[in-house]
Amino acid sequence: MSRLVMKFGGTSVADIDHIRNVARHVKREVDAGHEIAVVVSAMAGTTNRLIEWCGEAAALHDAREYDAIVASGEQVSAGLLAIVLQDLGVVARSWQGWQLPILTSNAHGAARILDINGAEIVRRFKERKEVAVITGFQGIHKETGRITTLGRGGSDTSAVAVAGAIMADRCDIYTDVDGVYTSDPRVVPKARRLEKIAFEEMLEFASLGAKVLQVRSVELGMVHKVRIFVRSSFDKPEDIDPYANQPPGTLICGEEDIVEQHVVTGIAFSKDEAQISIRQVADKPGVAAAIFVPLAESSINVDMIVQNVSADGKTTDLTFTVPSADYQRAMEAIGKAKAAIGYQRLDGATDVAKISVIGIGMRSHAGVAAEAFRALASRNINIRAITTSEIKFSVLIDAAYTELAVRTLHSLYGLDKA
């Protein structure tokens, strides 16, 4: 017998028929003797509708009331799933975040989980064999007693945090894809589903453009050693063997659990990038601070940074990337700081893409990046900027070459082959 957390996203609970399908997945695991906690998102489209209503009510609205409103979507999903489970003969009850409680920070709309009390859920596992159906995406700030929400994708974070709190053997994330692939199958038809991927690799995937999991959920899994299993909610519940060692999907686990480690695990990409170049800046101490402090104060994340020093050593060109959604704000922040920075020209571009090659095997293999640079050059793809870390490197290229670059690198590292 295992203790499992099962998380279902908005598309998985889109309507009553979908919720009945979810209930059959849960019943399958209950019948196999597992102790089950379920974390659910709001029904597909519900959160967007609630956000629109907040905007219609007032353009500038109270963030605390906003959280109270948007958190209601998960409450509906949890209650409906509990009712359907009861109708199937499964003992179940719904829990809202504040009832456990899930304690969070006071940053409404982007709160962070501080603590979860899972004692009552565990007690009910033992005494009642009861399934706990928990609202994702939300918690409570202890000092104020106000409902908080965790931001987009927060139900993934809720699920992994609950799994850690109740010491679950695994956290199953049911979604509209059947696992983590070597790249986006819509761009690379030969992309393969990975059976296992290390936490560190998944963290890079999630932060570099893959939409499978929220970054914070992977961080929590790595810190608390919660194994996360990404699987499809659209597989027929009756076709899945609950006693199988690993049903179809991708297990996110510790590096030590992966016997066969490949040099490169996958290729991620993001078109949501913008490039900013500051030309002819005085090459002296304090210039970098004059550039990046205003951006930090505007809550703009800077990613790739490249600095070139002129032949005379007196001036430098500095290029960096920001999320495309923050491009205009970043340009304005740099413009306002022109006197402090002392640059001659400010250039920008939004037609760029970031391609990232990820693999824990890079730690022990040299020349992996050099192979990529050679392959891209053979395709006449120009590299605008490069960043590296221990298990990944990223290149910035013209957005028009995104698909060609991804497919080229996917083939280069043998990811097309089973």
Structure confidence by residue, pLDDT tens digits, 57-104: 998 899 999 999 999 999 999 999 999 999 999 999 999 999 999 999
Residues in the chain, how many?
A: 418
In three-state secondary structure terms, 171 is strand
Which tens digits make up the pLDDT trace of 108-133?
999 999 999 999 999 999 999 999 99
Q: Which CATH class is domain 266-412?
A: alpha beta
Whether the predicted pLDDT of 241 surpasses 90:
no
Residues 6+ apart with CB under 8 A from 347: 276, 277, 279
**Tokens at residue 181, please?**
């692939």
Instruction: Look up residue 283 and give its amino acid.
Output: D
Query: What does each C-alpha distance from 133 to 127, 180, 197, 231 come to in angstroms?
Result: 17, 26, 28, 19
- Say if residue 208's pLDDT is above 80: no
pLDDT value at residue 418: 62
Complete edge-to-edge strand list for the sheet that includes strand 102-104: 113-116, 102-104, 138-141, 146-149
* C-alpha gyration radius of the chain: 24
Write down the pLDDT at residue 209.
Answer: 64
8-state DSSP, 314: S
3-state secondary structure of 315: strand
Query: Within 13 Å, how many C-alpha atoms sit on residue 139's CB side?
Result: 29
Burial of 25 (0-12, 13-18, 19+ CB in 10 A): buried
| Rounded Cα–Cα distance for residues 109 and 119 (Å) | 27
Architecture of the domain spanning 3-256: 3-Layer(aba) Sandwich (3.40)
* DSSP E strands, 98-191: 102-104, 113-116, 131-135, 138-141, 146-149, 170-175
C-beta separation of 199 from 254 below 8 A: yes
Per-domain residue ranges of the chain: 3-256, 266-412
**What phi, psi does 42 have (nearest 5°)?**
-70, 155
φ, ψ dihedrals at 369, nearest 5°:
-70, -40
For β-strands 250-253 and 228-232, DSSP reports them as: antiparallel
> Two tokens at 218?
């992977």
Per-residue model confidence as pLDDT tens digits over 279-315: 988 888 888 899 999 999 988 989 889 887 766 678 8
* Chain segment 145-183, per-residue pLDDT in tens: 999 999 888 999 999 999 999 999 999 999 888 899 999
What are the Cα distances from residue 168, in Å, to 40, 62, 100, 101, 138? 17, 37, 16, 18, 20
Q: Beta strand pairing status for 138-141 and 385-388?
A: unpaired
Given a contact cutoff of 8 angstroms between Cβ atoms, the answer to whether 155 and 91 are in contact is no
Residue 51 predicted with pLDDT over 90: yes
Question: Cα separation of 13 and 11, whole Å?
Answer: 5
| Buried b / exposed e along 286-302 (16+ C-beta atoms within 10 A) | ebeebbbebbeeeebeb
pTM across the whole model: 0.86
